[in-house]
Chains A and B, each alone.
Chain A
C-alpha cells in the first residue's frame, strides 16, 4: 500500500491513515490512565479534567478528535474497497475523509470552547 508514487491520492490516503493511527496509538494509553483517575474519586477526575480548560490542551484535543475522525473515515474507505468492491475516485474520497475530520474537529472545538 505504501509503495505507490508519492503524489498519488492512494499514497496520501495510506500515509494519513498511518500517521493518524500512530498518533492515536500513542494517545490511547494516556487517555485510559486519565480516565482511571476516577478510581480515586470524582474529585480526582475533576482535578484532571480542569487541565482541559487550557487552550493548548483544548487545541491538542481538537487535533486528536480530528485524527480519530480521519482514521475512521479512511478506514471505512479501506473496508468499502476490500469487502464491498466499491470503486472510488480516490482523490475525491480522500478529500471527503479530510472533510469529515475537519467537521468533527470543528464541532468539538465549537462545543468545547
Chain B
C-alpha cells in the first residue's frame, strides 16, 4: 500500500470509529419495537445535522472499503495493477453515489 493510501485508510478509519459507534447505538435504539418508515423519516427528514453526519460517514466508507478490498485482492487473489485499481476506484464512486442517494432519500422524503 502506498503512503497516501495508508494515510487515507487510517484517517477514514478514525472518522468511521466515531460514526460507526453512533450508527450502532442508533440501530440498537431504533429497532426497539420494530422499524417503521415513519420513525426513520421523523429523525431524518429535513434534518441538516443528519445530512452532514451521514454524508461524512458515506465519504469515509467510500474511501475506506475500496482501499481495504485492494489489500485483500492483492494479497489473497494476486490481482493488482491498473485494472484492479480502476475497478476499486469505480467501486468507490458507486459507493459514494449510492450512499449520497440514500442520504438524500431519507432527507427529502
Count class of interface residues, chain B: 35 or more
The answer to whether A72 and B69 have CB atoms under 8 Å apart is no
| Interfacial chain B residues near A111, Cβ < 8 Å | 28-29, 31-32
Inter-chain CA distance A65–B25, complex, in Å, is 11
Count class of interface residues, chain A: 35 or more
What string of 1s and 0s marks CB contacts (under 8 Å) between B61-77 and chain A?
10001001101100110
| Interfacial chain B residues near A21, Cβ < 8 Å | 65, 68-69, 72
- Stretch touching chain B among A5-13, A25-33, A89-97: A25-33
Inter-chain CA distance A69–B22, complex, in Å, is 11
Tell me the smallest distance from the CB of A75 to a CB of chain B, in Å: 5
| Interfacial chain B residues near A68, Cβ < 8 Å | 20, 23-24
The answer to whether A79 and B37 have CB atoms under 8 Å apart is no
Among B38, B75, B95, B108, which residue has its beta carbon within 8 angstroms of that of A29? B95
| Interfacial chain B residues near A32, Cβ < 8 Å | 95, 98-99, 101-102
Tell me the smallest distance from the CB of A103 to a CB of chain B, in Å: 10
Any chain A CB within 8 A of the CB of B21? Answer: yes
Inter-chain CA distance A104–B46, complex, in Å, is 29
The answer to whether B105 and A75 have CB atoms under 8 Å apart is no
Any chain A CB within 8 A of the CB of B17? Answer: yes
Determine which residue in B29, B37, B75 has the highest number of CB atoms from chain A within 10 A of its CB, and name it: B37
Tell me the smallest distance from the CB of A106 to a CB of chain B, in Å: 10
The answer to whether A72 and B17 have CB atoms under 8 Å apart is yes
Inter-chain CA distance A53–B31, complex, in Å, is 11
Any chain B CB within 8 A of the CB of A59? Answer: no
The answer to whether A107 and B35 have CB atoms under 8 Å apart is no
Any chain A CB within 8 A of the CB of B109? Answer: yes
B residues with CB within 8 A of A: 10, 13-14, 16-17, 20-21, 23-24, 27-29, 31-32, 34-38, 40-41, 61, 65, 68-69, 71-72, 75-76, 94-95, 98-99, 101-102, 104-106, 108-109
A residues with CB within 8 A of B: 2, 18, 21-22, 24-25, 28-29, 31-33, 35-39, 41-43, 45-46, 49, 52-53, 65, 68-69, 72, 75-76, 78-79, 82-83, 104, 107-108, 111-112
